[in-house]
Amino acid sequence: MNRTVILSLCALTACGPQYVSPELADAEAARSWSDGSVEADLILRAANELSFDELDVDASLDRRAAEGIVAARPFATLDTLDAVPYVGTSALDKLYDIGVERFGTEGLTPEEEDALILHIANSATFEVLDDDVGLDRRAAAGIVEQRPFATVSDLDAVPYVGPSALADLLGYGIATVWAVCPAGHITNDAGGTYTDLGEALRRSPEGSTVMLCAGVFEVDDALLNHSLVVQGQGWDLTEVRSAGGQAITVSGWPHVLELRDLTVSQGMPAEAVATVTASASASIVIDRVRFRDNTVGLYLYSALRADVLDSEFVDNVEVGLSAFSAIEVVSEGTRYEGNGMAVELLTVDEASFTGDSFHRNHGPDGAIYSKAYYRPDDWFLLFDDVDFGMGDTDNEAHDLTLAYETERYRLDAYGAGTSVVCNHKTCRSY
């Protein structure tokens, strides 16, 4: 189960600290707690602050365990709590669950609660909703069938989803949160505080989902050597902005960086600097992301694979998407408009563009420039139902330039509905 990091932008408004927790273990496995972690804090807080009745009835502890806790508290460590008769793994699990329920949402605004509920509803598998969240099976099936949901009201309209299900979704989200930000800072589960989003991304656990709320997040030189999902609220709401340098780089196999539902931009475009980079056999997924006003939006350097889905590359000064020595580039449903060059492919093994559009790009080598350094006769470049524009939407120089060694072949006037496959010097219908 992957962890989720909620980072809400509070630079202009005050918001209080919020409790967080790492991922839950499988339901069948015993949890492993460590002093100093947030889950341990929740356990100790429940043991120290809840009444006997709350421990006995609400938390469903053995009555003798509840009596022992009340008699022996306060507790400073899990070891001292665990030493109480009739307190063991099961009791600690129950204390953690009620700790999340009673204290885990402190400081969350209603908007942040809604964002977390929707994130879980829109992303969790049926099995997670049914087994881990504990929803009615019919509610879990309805959510999966009808999502995505834009509002909690839409979610609440699903049959068998009501206040109890919404509370379960929120509780599960809180239980799988790793970090949040009070007052514009980002706090990790060990109590450290970062003013820089890049530092928080570098410190996030392997496989985390970092959920950014609406707002502008500035980041520079965040080098990631682990897999990570960065989830925004939509490209009109969430923006990740570099001050002029590289914002985020993921490096190394088998790491995968996923960017979803946000805008990527440079505050001051700089010469030959890419805002987002995947290198050294890492992979990247770009899903509903707008790259706007960058020098180079996305750069793939010896990357294993890039999937660009339903995204936009708009008004990037030099290149929207540049790939050097990449294995595979897949672009689907993406708009490339107003860039110097839309796409640059240098020694790419395979590249495919499906349902994309290329309009008003103005680089001298065309909207797409592809140069092969080896295997010149391979049909490695595929276009399926691509719109290259005509008339007012035409690209200024050429639609496509194919190059091999010193040779260049310029192809133009493809227009809409183009479906061709190309090698280093020509294209043919398929």
User: Is there a single domain that holds both residue 53 and residue 159?
Assistant: no
Please report the pLDDT score of residue 190 as a whole number: 37
Which H or E run contains 363? none
Print burial letters for 75-98: b (CB count within 10 Å at least 16), e (below 16). Answer: beebeebeebeebeeebbbbbbbb
User: Is there a single domain that holds both residue 274 and residue 292?
Assistant: yes
User: Is there a single domain that holds both residue 269 and residue 415?
Assistant: yes
**Interatomic CA distance for residues 332 and 110, integer angstroms:** 36
pLDDT in tens, 118-145: 888 988 889 989 988 889 999 999 999 9
**Interatomic CA distance for residues 247 and 217, integer angstroms:** 10
Residue type, 277: T
Range of the domain at 340: 208-429
As a whole number, mean pLDDT of residues 338-343 equals 96
Q: Tokens standing for 199? A: 């530092």
User: Is there a single domain that holds both residue 121 and residue 154?
Assistant: yes
162 and 156 in contact (C-beta within 8 Å)? yes
* Strand bridging mode 357-359 / 335-337: parallel
pLDDT in tens, 192-239: 445 567 877 887 778 777 777 677 888 888 999 999 888 887 899 889
183 part of a folded domain: no
pLDDT in tens, 7-53: 443 322 223 223 223 332 233 233 445 666 656 777 898 999 999 99
Q: Tokens standing for 158? A: 């699903």
User: Is there a single domain that holds both residue 390 and residue 326?
Assistant: yes
Q: Residue 50: which CATH number?
A: 1.10.150
167 part of a folded domain: yes
Q: Residue 161: which CATH number?
A: 1.10.150.320
Print burial letters for 194-230: b (CB count within 10 Å at least 16), e (below 16). Answer: bebbbbbbbbbbeebbbbbbbbebebbebebebbbbb
State percent of the chain over pLDDT 90: 47
Number of domains in the chain: 3
**Interatomic CA distance for residues 249 and 278, integer angstroms:** 6
- The pLDDT confidence band at residue 264, using thresholds 50, 70 and 90, is very high
pLDDT in tens, 354-395: 999 999 999 888 899 998 876 667 889 999 999 998 877 888
Please report the pLDDT score of residue 39 as a whole number: 65
Domain boundary among 49, 83, 103: 103
Average pLDDT, the chain: 82
65 part of a folded domain: yes
Angle of helix 89-103 relative to helix 38-49, nearest 10 degrees? 90
2 part of a folded domain: no
**Interatomic CA distance for residues 164 and 172, integer angstroms:** 12
User: Is there a single domain that holds both residue 85 and residue 112?
Assistant: no
